[in-house]
Structure 1
Amino acid sequence: MNTAIKIRKGGVSDVPAMLTILDSAVGWLNGKGITAQWGTEPFSSRPKTVELVEQVTTEGVPWIAEIDGVPAGTLTLTPHPGAYVAPAGEPESYVRFLATDTRFHGHGVGAALLAHAAEETRRQGVSLLRVDCFAGSEGRLVAYYERQGFTRTEEFVVGDWPGQVLERRV
């Protein structure tokens, strides 16, 4: 398989593909015994979650990573975080719903999308790129973002869900 990753701007018409990728990620996480991050039900089976993905897609710019023309990963860049994180107090780009389809794990899809997010943020004349993530599971996801050049900032909790905000100057 040619693993050249092409990243294209998405739109609302890509929401079904984005949900397929997110559903795949839920299945992968659950297969690893990680149920607290994104739950046990596919995103596509949760109407409020589907509505949130659609809303974030219209508030920001979705990006789709493709390998051989197949959607392999996604993220959406918005000019603000979700309601559970305070805005930065300066212009920012915020990574939302980063996920890789299970079939493409190990191909660098997430890293490529995050590098693209940094380039896009810089192109917009914004110097702050932020993301938040699940801080449970021994902090593995936090460590992943740190390997991608992000630095921890504030921690937060939504219900019993521990989160970590990270930032990267671009």
Structure 2
Amino acid sequence: MKIYGVTGWKNTGKTGLMERLVTEITGRGLRVSTVKHAHHATDIDHPGRDSFRHRQAGATEVIVASPLRWAVMHELRGAEEPGLTALLARLSPVDLVLIEGYKSAPHPKIECHRAAAGRGLLAPENASIRAVASDSAHPGLALPLFDLDDTAAIAGFILAEVGL
């Protein structure tokens, strides 16, 4: 599987770009999966649901299945958070996995940047960032610069980078 990341500071448009990229790339006939890293305690389950009760009772993994989808929830129960490589190994094969977050991981990435977020670029200090998608100009930037809303061009760049 090919992998490519979308990274950047909080509130710079990463999730919106990820959503648009999935739509664009799947529209080109490729199969795409995603990995999203969260820095907080994320829970996709809700108190009172049967699956929540199973986890609260001590289950390590709970699978919820329906005619439309299935999901696995794995409780770490004090164990270390698995690395990106371990998580990728759990995915079914697809053409491309888009990864949101994981700023310091070595896979290639495009950085999202919004001037209103008030943060500088990560790219000058992070060699894994191959391009920037921004809503503002960055004179002197030594990387390709895309308009943050030019999804087709960004998708084309990513697909060329990974050889798809």
The answer, yes or no, to whether TM exceeds 0.5 is no
Greater fraction of residues in strand: 1
TM-score by length of 1: 0.30
Q: Which has the higher contact order (CA 8 A, sep 6+)?
A: 2
TM-score by length of 2: 0.30
Higher CA-based Rg: 2
